[in-house]
Structure 1
Amino acid sequence: MKQITVMEKYPVFTMQIEKSETDYQTIDEIFTYLKVQADLHPVATYIGEFDHYTHTASLDVGEISSEIKAAKNFICCFGKVLPKPEVLAIRPRSIGVAELEDAFVVSFMEAPNPDANKAMEQWVKGLLK
């Protein structure tokens, strides 16, 4: 797992997982695994999923890189305190999963909560055989 900056300002953790390195062969299988991880976590709660590929493909102005075969966001929240209204702007969390021909790219933006980052990183690394 590596940390990069996307669009010169967004801190993102990302990992490319070759399909030969995992037992999961579809995004839906990965999402089933991630939902179990969220359900087992003492604070995290599963919210839903967003099919970004289908949404973008449906737009007249939508553009998708030819290497991306599918792309969804797994949405969950690690919020255990709500100290002020503005905290809502940085929640919930999203783990993006893009399927390429022979690999998955799994990424999430750095959370202000180090425990959330640690959990999401463990979940992503758990996809490896």
Structure 2
Amino acid sequence: MADVKRVERPLSPHLQIYRPQLTSLTSILTRITGNALIVGVILAAWWLLAAATSPEYFEVANAVVTSWFGKLVFFGSIWAVWYHYLAGLRHLYFDAGKGLEIATAEKLGLACIIGSVVLTIVTVILV
């Protein structure tokens, strides 16, 4: 039987070699924000159900919603809504067959991130 010399090669790109791309990060961020919005919806639904249940139960829910944790969740939810909205518009643009070049896709991804931060700040100031 012949001796076969095996070459040691990585099976997938190693983290020291692979550089995350903006387009992949924005895609992952779209999925994360979509799922993270569930936390804000659950907190808001709990607050509304507590208001319909009893004054004592509403006091507990209102204490949580108005605490630093509740404010953080709702602030994050405001940003997640804006980011998810802008990313959805970007995907509609992609679905039309436009903006699929790497440079354009990266610019649109950066616009989603910057736009969501700006719109979040504007929303917090106005509300």
User: Quick check: TM above 0.5?
Assistant: no
* TM value normalised by structure 1: 0.27
* TM value normalised by structure 2: 0.28
- Which structure would you say has the larger Rg? 2
Q: Which has the higher helix share?
A: 2
Q: Which has the higher strand share?
A: 1
